[in-house]
Amino acid sequence: MTDGDFSLACPAPAGGDDTVQMAHGGGGRAMERLLDTIIRPAFDNPHLARRHDGAVLDLAGPVAFTTDSYVVKPLVFPGGDIGTLAVNGTVNDLAMCGARAAHLSVGLILEEGLPLDTLRRVVASMRSAADAAGVTLVTGDTKVVDHGKADGLFVNTAGLGPVVSAAPIGPDAVRAGDAVILSGDIGRHGIAVMAAREGFGFETVIESDCAPVVDPVMALIEAGVAVHCLRDLTRGGLASAAVEIGEAAGVSIALDEASIPVREDVNAACEILGLDPLHVANEGRFVAFVAEADAERAIDILRRFAVSAGAVRIGTVGGGAAGEVTCRGALGVDRIVDMLSGEQLPRIC
Amino acid sequence: MTDGDFSLACPAPAGGDDTVQMAHGGGGRAMERLLDTIIRPAFDNPHLARRHDGAVLDLAGPVAFTTDSYVVKPLVFPGGDIGTLAVNGTVNDLAMCGARAAHLSVGLILEEGLPLDTLRRVVASMRSAADAAGVTLVTGDTKVVDHGKADGLFVNTAGLGPVVSAAPIGPDAVRAGDAVILSGDIGRHGIAVMAAREGFGFETVIESDCAPVVDPVMALIEAGVAVHCLRDLTRGGLASAAVEIGEAAGVSIALDEASIPVREDVNAACEILGLDPLHVANEGRFVAFVAEADAERAIDILRRFAVSAGAVRIGTVGGGAAGEVTCRGALGVDRIVDMLSGEQLPRIC
C-alpha cells in the first residue's frame, strides 16, 4: 500500500466526501480507506488479502502475457462500461494467443472529483466480468491525479494465462489457402460508444458487443482444429486486422462482402455517419485463420456458443502481395481494403 | 496493433508533426508509424517482433505478478524520469515478493500534443532501466487521449518474475524479535520531485534515489538469510511501510531515530518544508525484516552493493499492540509514528 497496491493494509476516516480526493492517492489513511471500502471488497480474493506488493502464482509451461490501457469515453455505454471492457479486452487478447486467461492485474488512474459511485460501478463491473470469464484480479494499484489532469478514470489491465494450443498461433502460421472465419456481426461496439458520446438518437439503442470470447476459442483448440491465427477486431476493425495479418504473414486475403454480417441498424448508422463497417471497432468479435480442411468444423463449433453463434466464413488467404486485402462486393467487383490512415473515433476502448 | 499493441504491424506516413496527435491512437497507419519509429525500436526484442496480441513466456514454478501506474509530475526530475521510475518501481515490487523480475508489460497513455522528443526520452529511459535490471519489455499498448485529458504521459507497468525465496516473504512471516534493516538513506526521491516541481532553489541539487534493488535482495535470499518481510519505501515513506507491516503482522515495531540515515541536504529541505523524513517517498530504498540471528550477516551482504551500501539496522519487532510503531529520539523519548492521514505530496510516482 505504500505504493497504492490493493494487495496491502485498513480502517480510519477519509475526507468524508463522495468523490475521489487527492488524499486518496497519498499512500496514507485516506487511500487505505478507499481501498478497504471500495476496491478490496469488490475484488476480494486470497491474493489481495495477503496485502503484499504483488501476487505469487503457481505457473507451469508456456504462459501468455498481455496488457492494455482503457480510456474509453464515455465511461458507461449501452452494453457495458470501462470496467467490462478492461476485463474482456485483456481476456480476449490472451485468447488470441491461444491462452485461457487466469490472472489479471488492475491499475486505476483516478481523477480528483470522480464520483465514488462511478468508481463503485466500474469495479463491480470488473468483478462481474472477471467472474464470467473465470479470471481472478490478483494484484492492483491506484493512483489519483489532480482535477483536469485525467478524464474521470483510466484503467490498465495486464493478464496471464496458460497457453492451451500446442501449435503456435500467430501471423507466422498463416498459409495461402487458409479459411478466414468471422465470429459474428461487426460494428456494434464502435457505434454504441459513438452514439452514447455524441447523443445520436438512432431509432434503436445499439448495444456494444463487448464480451469474452475465450470459451469458443478454447473449444476450437481443444477439438484439434488447425487454428493458424486469431485476432480480435478492436480499434481499426476487421479491415486493420486483416491488413496487419496479411502484412505480417506475407500473404494476400480475399474477403466476400456479402458474407460479412452487419446488423441493419448498425449498417444504417454507418451510412448516416459515412463510416465503413469494416473500420468500426468491436470488443467481442474475432477472426480465425484455420486450415481449409477444418473450416466447416470450426464454424460448427463456434456456433455452439452464444458469443459466436453468428460465425461465418468470410474469405480465403491467397498467395498475392503481402498485406493486399480485397473485398468482393455485390456486383462482383473487388475493392482494396486498407487500414485507416488516421483515426475514425478516438477513445473507443 | 488493432488495439495498439506494440507486439503487432508497419510503415507509411503520419501527420508529420513533432507532437502526439489523436490519430496516433486510432489503430491505423499513424499509430503504426508511431510504434514503428519510436516505441518498437526502443524496446526491440523477439517477443515484440512477433507482432501478436501478447507475449508467450516459458515459466515454471511460483511466479510473482505485480502492477503499478506512474503519474509522477514533472515527467523528468533530477536522477530519473517517469520511464526510469516505471521500470524500477515494478522491478522493486517483485523483489519485495522475493522474486527476480524477468518480463514487463508497458501501457502508455499519451496526451495529444505531447512532444515526441519527450516520448523518445521516456522509452529510452525504460529500455536503459530494463537492461540495467535484467528485464525484457515483452508486450505493450499505447493509447492517446485528447489535449487536456491527461498530463503529458502516464505509464503502467506490470511485471513477472520467478520467486527465488523458498520461504514465503510477507507480513505473515514477521515475528517479535526480528531485526528491522533499512537499505540506505531516506527521502531523496520525494525531495527531488518536490524541488523539481516547485522550482525550489536548494543549495545542492538533490537527486532521486530511483534504482533497482533486486540484486541485494536476491543476494540476501541466496545466502540463506531468514528474510521474513520486505517492503520498498515509496508513497508514504518508511512510516507508512512500518505501520502497514505492523498492522498486517499483528506486531509492534520500535525504531531508533538516530540510526535512520538522512542526508544533511535532505534533512535541511525537510526542515524548511516542515516534512518528517519518515513520511517522504523513496524509489530505491527498502526495509528488510530478518531473523535476529541473521541481522549482522544481512547488513554485511547488503553493503556489498552500491544501491544498499548504506544499509543499517534501525529497529526491532516487538510484541506490543498491532501496528504500534514507535521511534526513540535523541533524548531517549519514544514518539508514536503513524501513516499520514492524507497526502504529503501528490503524484510522487
Contacts by residues A204-208 (CB-CB < 8 Å, ≥ 24 positions apart) = A204/A265, A205/A78, A206/A78, A206/A263, A206/A265, A206/A266, A206/A269, A207/A78, A207/A79, A208/A77, A208/A78, A208/A79, A208/A80, A208/A283, A208/A284
SS (H, E, C) A10-68: CCCCCCCCCECCHHHHCCCHHHHHHHHHHHHHHHCCHHHHCCCCCEEEEEEEEEEEEEE
Which residues are bridge partners to A288 per DSSP?
A: A181, A230
**Chain B neighbours among A 14-43 (CB < 8 Å)?**
15, 21-23, 25-32
Give B302-314 pLDDT, tens digit per residue: 999 999 999 999 9
The CA–CA distances, whole Å, from A298 to A132, A222, B174 equal 23, 11, 54
Query: Of A275, A246, A118, whose CA–CA distance to A175 is shortest?
Result: A246
Q: Residue type at A319?
A: G
What is the chain A residue with the closest CA to B236? A27
Instruction: Kindly list the structural domains of chain A, giving each domain's residue range(s) and its CATH number in brackets, ordered by start.
Output: 22-162 (3.30.1330.10), 171-337 (3.90.650.10)
pLDDT tens-digit profile, chain B (349 residues): 334 566 543 333 344 479 999 888 877 788 888 888 998 888 888 888 777 778 888 888 899 999 999 999 999 999 999 999 999 999 999 999 999 999 999 999 999 999 999 999 999 999 999 999 999 999 999 999 999 999 999 999 999 999 999 999 999 999 999 999 999 999 999 999 999 998 887 778 899 999 999 999 999 999 999 999 999 999 899 999 999 999 999 999 999 999 999 999 999 999 998 999 999 999 999 999 999 999 999 999 999 999 999 999 999 999 999 999 999 998 999 999 998 776 677 898 9
Chain B residue numbers with beta carbons less than 8 Å from the beta carbon of A54 are 64-66, 93-94, 96-97, 99, 159
CA-CA-CA-CA torsion sign (A106, A216, A284, A61):
positive
Say whether B329 sits in a helix, a strand or coil: coil
**Chain A neighbours among B 49-108 (CB < 8 Å)?**
50-71, 89, 93-94, 96-97, 99, 103, 105-108
Pair B316, B192: CB distance under 8 Å: no
Angle between helices A116-133 and A82-96 (to 10 degrees): 30
Spatial CB neighbours of B235, under 8 Å, sequence gap ≥ 6:
A2, A3, A4, A25, A26, A27, A31, B281, B348, B349
Q: Flag whether residue A187 sits within 8 Å of chain B, measured between CB atoms.
A: no
| Interface pTM, i.e. ipTM | 0.91
Q: What is the DSSP letter of B35?
A: I
Q: Report the Cα–Cα distance between both ends of chain A, in Å, rounded.
A: 28
Q: What is the DSSP letter of A170?
A: S
Give A43-87 pLDDT, tens digit per residue: 888 888 777 778 888 888 899 999 999 999 999 999 999 999 999
Using alpha carbons only, what angle is made at residue A304 by residues A300 and A306, rounded to the nearest 5 degrees?
130
Q: Which among B28, B65, B99 has CB closest to A236?
A: B28
Q: How far apart are CA B193 and CA B13, in angstroms?
A: 37
Task: Copy the grid coordinates of residue B347.
Answer: 503524484
Say whether A9 sits in a helix, a strand or coil: coil
